[in-house]
């Protein structure tokens, strides 16, 4: 006797979208907690970077985390406008002179995130 299929799809069913973040209902319904959510939710846990291949569940994990916390600010990389800086001829010139820009970029990241958090916090 054949086992019934767990999932049955109809001809016009739509599952997911090009960007998983755009289909929050699907991500919410299909989320499986593997323990990563608890580790990510602990502020003192050093395991705070979410890395994985496409479709591994990074977006679902971050959406679930945002839904389980009281105060959440989501910073989208595309809102940071870093393309302007990466195309800077001045920075390329300084780099070509052998000037190490590590400290500059570290401080720049802190500044960009601080400004973004302040914008989000005070725009509501």
Q: Is the pLDDT of residue 14 over 70?
A: no
Rounded CA-CA distance 43/40 in Å is 8
Nearest alpha carbon to residue 112 among 87, 86, 70, 75: 75
Least confident interval from 56-70, 71-85, 107-121: 71-85
For the entire predicted model, the pTM comes to: 0.56
Rounded CA-CA distance 102/29 in Å is 42
Rounded CA-CA distance 50/63 in Å is 12
Band (100; pLDDT cuts 50, 70, 90): very high
Band (2; pLDDT cuts 50, 70, 90): low
Rounded CA-CA distance 62/74 in Å is 9
Q: Is the pLDDT of residue 52 over 80?
A: yes
């Amino acid at each position: 006797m054949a086992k019934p299929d767990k999932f049955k799809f109809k001809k016009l069913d739509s599952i997911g979208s090009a960007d998983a973040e755009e289909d929050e209902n699907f991500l919410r319904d299909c989320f499986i907690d593997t323990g990563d959510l608890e580790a990510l939710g602990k502020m003192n846990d050093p395991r705070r970077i979410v890395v994985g291949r496409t479709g591994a569940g990074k977006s679902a994990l971050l959406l679930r985390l945002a839904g389980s916390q009281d105060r959440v600010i989501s910073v989208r990389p595309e809102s940071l406008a870093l393309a302007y800086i990466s195309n800077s001829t001045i920075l390329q010139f300084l780099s070509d002179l052998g000037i190490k820009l590590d400290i500059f970029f570290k401080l720049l990241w802190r500044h960009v995130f601080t400004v973004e958090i302040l914008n989000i916090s005070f725009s509501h």
